[in-house]
Amino acid sequence: MADERLIAALDVPTRADAEQLVTRLGDSVSCYKVGMELFYALGGDVVTWLKEQEKKVFLDLKLHDIPNTVGNGLCSLLHLAPAILNVHTAGGLRMMKAAAEALHRAAAEADISCPKLIGVTVLTSMDAEDWAGLGHTGTIADAVLRRAKLAQEAGLDGVVASPAETSEIRRVCGNDFLIVTPGIRPAGVAHDDQRRVMTPAGAIRAGASQIVVGRAIYAAEDPRAAAEAILKEMETV
């Protein structure tokens, strides 16, 4: 059985590309991230197809709007039965609280399992220069921890955070708090547009609940071999 700590990112432009990758990965991967690129192109059909393949889905749409709109948006995605949904913590405490309450209420009314709801803290593509350029005076690490604590206070199940901040979030928010970690690069793989990165084993060791791996798998000459190498590395932790 595949290790559910590994989430493969379906950051591809077409359904044919997605189906080809999932087929090539076979039973080595059981969880997939569907982001804006694929969801905006195909809508919920791609999530439905993945569910039919008995895969779990992290629907990574980073909802960020006024509280009522985000809550309603999440509820409109509930019928797709993703395992994980997310919002952006930059929307603030009231938005996150309204989102969590709306999602749990809608799931209870529909008598279905409620997806985990997590909050994006700070994108892993951002570095200190980017952060300062937005007018922030504190550090990224401080902001991530503050936003993680707000997410927990709001009733979210966890956060998305880079591996650089994972250990401190785990210390402050506890062992039951879900930490989904992108910015994963196995040794020898280019960082591309990611800035705050770590190896798969390093991220798990730091306290990540699940890691999201994109280019290192889908751009590999042999995606299944790449995924299995990551899984083998994770077994050492």
Write down the pLDDT at residue 237. 79
Over pLDDT 90: what percentage of the chain? 88
pLDDT tens readout for residues 121-158: 998 888 899 999 999 989 999 999 999 999 999 999 99
Per-residue pLDDT band at 31 (split at 50, 70, 90): very high
The Cα-based distances of 190 to 62, 86, 137, 187, 197 in angstroms read: 25, 27, 30, 9, 10
> If you average pLDDT over residues 214-234, what whole number do you get?
95
Mean pLDDT taken over the chain = 94
Q: What gap in Å lies between CA 75 and CA 98, rounded to an integer?
A: 11
Q: Note every long-range contact of 123-126, with CB atoms under 8 Å and residues 24 or more positions apart, other chains counting.
A: 124/162, 124/182, 124/183, 124/194, 124/195, 124/196, 124/197, 125/193, 125/194, 125/195, 126/195, 126/196
Torsions phi, psi for 231 (to 5 deg):
-60, -40
Write down the pLDDT at residue 171. 97
Question: pTM for the whole thing?
Answer: 0.94
Write down the pLDDT at residue 126. 85
Quote the distance between the C-alpha of residue 179 and its chain's center: 9
pLDDT tens readout for residues 156-214: 999 999 999 999 999 999 999 999 999 898 865 654 554 557 899 999 999 999 999 99
Write down the pLDDT at residue 124. 82
Write down the pLDDT at residue 86. 98
> If you average pLDDT over residues 76-92, what whole number do you get?
98
Catalytic residue among 51, 56, 62, 149: 62
Write down the pLDDT at residue 58. 98
For the question of residue 51 being annotated catalytic, the response is no
> If you average pLDDT over residues 63-86, what whole number do you get?
98
Mind listing the domains of the chain with CATH numbers?
Answer: 6-234 (3.20.20.70)
